[in-house]
A and B are shown apart, each in its own frame.
Chain A
Amino acid sequence: MKLIKAVMAGSVWKVLVQPGDLVEVGQDVMILESMKMEIPVSAEISGKVKEVKTNEGDFVNEEDVLVELE
């Protein structure tokens, strides 16, 4: 199982992928908002999205799982 985690604490501003999507290394999967900045979260590994663990507007902590890949 491959996990994409939050790089820092903030809120989920935009979710850019949905289950079934194929993501590549370096592709942005989500944009967080923190410190009034847009924080793109990109995939460090490629794979198929199994589950998106957060919704837009949710608060997340650093290291929280955002997206699970198959």
Chain B
Amino acid sequence: MKGETTVTIDVKSQETSIHNRMEKIKEGGDPKYHEKNREQGKLFVRDRLKLLFDPGFELEDALFANCLTEDLPADGVVTVIGKMNGQVVCVIANDSTVKAGSWGSRTVEKIIRMQETADKLKVPLLYLVDSAGARITDQIEMFPGRRGAGRIFYNQVKLSGKIPQVCVLFGPSAAGGAYIPAFCDIVIMVEGNASMYLGSPRMAEMVIGEKVSLEEMGGARMHCSQSGCGDVLANTEEEAIKLARDYLSYLPANYSTKPPVQGAIPPKVFEKTIEQIIPTNQNTPFNMYDLIDRLIDEDSFFEIKKLFASELITGFARIEGSSIGIIANQPRIKGGVLFHDTADKAAKFITLCDAFHIPLVFLADVPGFMIGTKVERAGIIRHGAKMIAAMSEATVPKISIIVRKAYGAGLYAMAGPAFEPDCCLALPSAQIAVMGPEAAVNAVYSNRIAALPPEERAAFTQQKREEYRQNIDIYRLASEMVIDGVIPGNSLREELTRRLEAYSSKYVVFTERKHPVYPV
């Protein structure tokens, strides 16, 4: 009797001691760093996780990492399994209150182990990044070896396309660490705090004499609008976390399953019909979002790279509750012309959708690829090749809708008939040709026009343009079976719904080989 009481007391005190130790570690770094975070509008890593996860399910590994060292709770990174929208996910989250979220040897080992766990469980992996980079003092242990930081990137490459990898960037992602977002499928950045750079402004000033602010060189807005390294710009941390949850709701847990189907929602109701929003003059712009809104379930659009290469719209949406990937030219911006960055944006998005069984819907209104010295020097041909390669290789259901013009290689890039779309459908406003009537008449008849008396030129040009238009009439192309159908605008959503349902069993192996020689 006496002995039992003693044991009970020991267990209790032991439990209290473990509990206290855990609570202490979970408090993170020194209060002054928490205060600094608050001043910057940053949340503590554990509060971020609370917002990210469904309540009541969290499994943390290696909370005690480096627990014998006083000021390195959890060694600056929280690695945890949780649930989002009911789906099990793995998360790696830096704690910026612990040595600015820098990496020591145990930090790196924890990150690698959670990557391995996500790989084994085949579930999405999220990186909540807020880290100053490597701890130089620990470099031999954490930098060069087999399970050094390099392994993190190796693992990311290996996981790419197998499970979704999401990066939410709350603070810096510096030097080598900047490659974590680069290897993720999507990068959500918090404006004002998130940044990505290989060398800090201070280092740039010392090494190359450049004077520049962090925001200009590696800020969230710059990356989301200019470099294309960021995909979605969020105003606050709360918004960024909500975006990550929304994003994953379109995706399956891994490459071997299909995306979850949500409840069907009718599209937003508009006064004007599709035909009424599309101008008859091919050269006059219209807003492609107006068409997208008429096709998809209301409020289901999740746009990716909205601020980057906006002449092309890419994003997830739902039709009757099922996920689709939209690739649409935006004639309102730069005429919808394809530039090198446009092609780059499209290639990544197509690859993302194809990896995770998200059917692709192309909405084409494209005058072609941009010409001129500037884009040639930027390598528009090889960037364009990237888009065409990714689109060719995509074996998910692929639906090509010719909304208006589809000229030249623009037709090819937007999954034209030669690229094995499951169908190529045209709206009555569609026009498919090597080039538009104005350019074509100019190319063929410029000498003859110049030889005519000035007063006859306009009429001649007009007549030739009209002949050209008749020659490329959409019903002629339908008659030649270049396209699979002409669909009135008001039936387009219904047609898409049925086609997507019919094509859902599609399974195609593109070809047999090790892998292509990518035109990167």
A residues with CB within 8 A of B: 7-9, 34-40, 61-62
Contacts and interface: CB of A to CB of B under 8 A. Distances in A.
Main secondary structure, interface of A, reads loop
A40 B507 CA distance: 43
Given A8-B337, A37-B336, A62 B371 contact: no
Contacts of B284: 38
Interface residues of B, number: 20
B374 A37 contact: no
A21 B337 CA distance: 30
10 contacts: A34-B337, A35-B335, A35-B368, A35-B371, A36-B439, A37-B335, A37-B336, A37-B337, A40-B285, A61-B374
B332 interface: yes
B285 A38 contact: yes
Given A35-B367, A36-B436, A36-B439, A7 B283 contact: no
Contacts, number: 41
Contact of A36 (B283, B332, B372): B283
A9 B335 contact: no
Nearest to B410: A35
Contacts of B63: none
Interface in B326-348: 331-337
Given A35-B367, A36-B367, A7 B334 contact: yes
B335 A38 contact: yes
Contacts of B336: 37
Contacts of A38: 283-285, 335
B438 interface: yes
A35 B333 CA distance: 13
Interface of B: 283-285, 331-337, 367-368, 370-372, 374, 435-436, 438-439
Nearest to B440: A36
A30 to B, nearest CB: 13
B337 A35 contact: yes
B438 A40 contact: no
A8 B334 contact: yes
The 4 closest A-B pairs by CB, nearest first: A37-B335, A35-B367, A35-B337, A39-B335
B374 A34 contact: no
A7 B368 CA distance: 17
Contacts of A7: 333-334
Given A7-B333, A35-B367, 16 more contacts: A7-B334, A8-B334, A8-B335, A8-B370, A34-B335, A34-B337, A35-B371, A36-B435, A36-B436, A36-B439, A37-B283, A37-B331, A37-B335, A37-B336, A38-B335, A40-B332
Contacts of A34: 334-335, 337
A14 to B, nearest CB: 12
A8 B368 CA distance: 14
Nearest to A40: B285
Contacts of A35: 335, 337, 367-368, 370-371
A39 B367 contact: no
Contacts of B368: 35
Contacts of A36: 283, 367, 435-436, 438-439
